[in-house]
Structure 1
């Protein structure tokens, strides 16, 4: 029943956030209220089974952002992607300095806590390398929470974008035809099955996203995700993020969140710098480049992009490349640095 309690608290948080005009209420409201409930010891449990259903749906949503005209933007995409390695190095270095020299984490825990992406992978690889798994997980959960919250308020305060449905046209379930539903459900089911077989990162999202993008690029459907489905996805993802703080001592939570705020500020500075440079060189709207480089999780940043009405294909592709780069390079660099430290 813990997951029902968590979702109920999350729904209450969403409704409160909507009522008071909170930015991105359907994600931020549940995230904040469930986090407070988890820290306070409430009997909440992450709705992971529901999340398994939501993730393929999210992948289909991301794929719907691709369209035949997408290829006309490849040049702009290439210039943006070229900055991703620079961003990863800058963000990684800034966070490592915080966790190692301010937080006094051991080198292994500090290293895997500093990666700007790949929460589950960094937690598992870091634990196998001898790091403290709970601290690595808490560092990444805090990063996602802080990035989504800060980006929501940045868009609310500076760009006056408040919530889902205000930046994009509302889409109802009745707006999709039976053919649209058949195609999109097939993408979700087949992609969720094939993705893990191909060992894709975030396979439950990327598998359906690839199939959905192919369907949309081929022009077989141009349907947009229903607004209600986006809101439900945000509710579930916000609740899951909040539940990550369950059963962690309050003293440890506040200390590590404080460190995460400092580390994430360094990451966000790197993201803002790269976003400004790309925007100046390509003419892409600064709102979109900020979403592109913000070091949040793929599901959370994708939902944020949908809510803000930005180019989901562009942003999601950049985040996937960032996560792939982190997952591929972080273990290799760790082994190189570990070998060099012996001499």
Structure 2
């Protein structure tokens, strides 16, 4: 009988000293960003300091690996926190966003075409690499499908990492400049409604752990995020559970996810960094402009306001966009639902394209 895979797959021993250095650098950057009043302080500050430390280590051929199970747990924790914001009223309003979900399909098609054009003309990528670098979602899937099709794995990995990175940096700053709200430096939606008890601090991570297992058993997309989110949303939306999450828990989740994102560049080797950075910045900027245009159109035909629609369409990671939505007081469940649908469509289209990748390459 085939054994079930463990919740956390510890593929290699953890170097605690290197992990400590990464987390200290991230915490220092987050504290500085918080002091400066920057948006999403522990996500952005931790991310940027980790990137700087990672490149310094790369120049000296020092690896700074980040344990994948640690990131898995904290992304699951974010899913649990997102689900905790669901109320019965919000659950009843969910069918009203069907129009914006359908619009995601049009957005994915246009973003893919525009991205492909940019990577071919600005970056001068060959066809297969440009095809998968242009995917507006699904970092892991894009790299794997591109590898099978004969694309440049380094270019694909760095391009999609930069897409998420640029969105995480640009979107909070845009909200900060336009509205004056410091994203992520306040409690956010669903936080500090009362006194947090030990039951809350035990239940939130417990839901995260159960959700990881359920998500993997059901083969859900982004299982370690969606599983906990669905279970938490069901429990809170039906009134079976009510938890009070402290604001510092959001900071901790920001820190660990930000450090994990920055540490992905550990060991990255390549000579065309500037070309990849330039092309990815142009592509991400065009996608964000496209997101804004769609949001301006949809705000007239859906119950969601412009900030919610813009976050729902921005081509970032599900967990990162969920964190921004949490911090802004926007329904993170609605935002996450749109992003899961976007990633599903993107991967589905790319999987179809991969069957013809060899012909496209020729």
- Give the structure-2-normalised TM-score: 0.87
Q: 164-173 vs 255-264, which deviates more?
A: 164-173
Structure 2: runs of 5 or more not aligned: 1-16
Q: What does 1:96-111 correspond to in 2, within 5 Å? A: 96-111=116-131
Whether 1:223 aligns to 2:243 is: yes
Bigger mean CA deviation after superposition, 119-128 or 326-335: 326-335
SS for the counterpart of 2:299 is helix
**TM-score normalised by L of structure 1:** 0.92
Q: Which moved more, 1:3-12 or 1:239-248?
A: 239-248
Question: In 2, distance between residues paired with 1:169 and 1:269?
Answer: 26
How much has 1:247 moved relative to structure 2? 2.7
Match of 1:69 in 2: 89
The answer to whether 1:36 aligns with 2:56 is no
Equivalent-residue separation in structure 2 for 1:186 and 1:283 (angstroms):
33
Residue 126 of structure 1 is matched in structure 2 by 146
Equivalent-residue separation in structure 2 for 1:131 and 1:341 (angstroms): 9
Kindly indicate whether the alpha-carbon contact (under 8 Å) linking 2:200 and 2:245 is maintained by their aligned counterparts in 1. Answer: no
* 8 Å contact kept, 2:41–2:185: no
How many pairs are equivalent?
342
Unaligned runs of 5+ in 1: none
Contact persistence 1:60–1:184 (CA under 8 A): yes
Cα distance, 1:224 vs structure 2: 4.4
Larger fraction in helix: 1
- C-alpha distance in 2 between matches for 1:145 and 1:202: 18
* Pairing of 1:16-31 with structure 2 (within 5 A): 16-31=32-47
Is the 8 Å Cα contact of residues 189 and 330 (structure 2) preserved in structure 1? no
Q: Report the Cα distance in structure 2 between the residues aligned to 1:73 and 1:278, rounded to whole angstroms.
A: 16
Alignment match of 1:12 (pick from 11, 28, 41)? 28
Change (3 A) 1:174 1:53: farther
Aligned to 2:348: 328
User: CA deviation digits over 1:191-228, x for unaligned, max 9?
Assistant: 21121122212111111111111101211123243211
Question: How many angstroms does 1:172 deviate by?
Answer: 5.7
Distance 1:224 1:177, change over 3 A: closer
Q: Secondary structure at the match of 1:247?
A: coil
CA distance in 2, matches of 1:78, 1:205: 22
Distance 2:250 2:338 in 1: 21
- Residue 145 (structure 1) aligns with: 165
| Mapped partners of 2:114, 2:244: distance in 1 | 38
Summarize the alignment of residues 305-316 of structure 1 with structure 2, pairs less than 5 Å apart. 305-316=325-336
Which residue is equivalent to 1:211? 231
- Give the whole-Å Cα distance in 2 for the aligned partners of 1:328 and 1:295: 16
Name the SS for the 2:301 alignment partner: helix
- Of 259, 275, 281 in structure 2, the residue corresponding to residue 239 of structure 1 is 259
Q: CA deviation at 1:71?
A: 3.4
- Provide the C-alpha distance between the structure 2 equivalents of 1:164 and 1:265, rounded to a whole number of angstroms: 22
- For residues 70-121 of structure 1, the C-alpha deviation after alignment (integer angstroms, 9 at most, x for no partner) is 2332343111101101111111111111112221112111111111111111
Structure 1 match to 2:9:
none
Asked if structure 2 preserves the Cα contact closer than 8 Å seen for 1:5 and 1:45, the reply is: no
Q: Are the counterparts in 2 of residues 122 and 327 from structure 1 also a CA contact under 8 Å?
A: yes
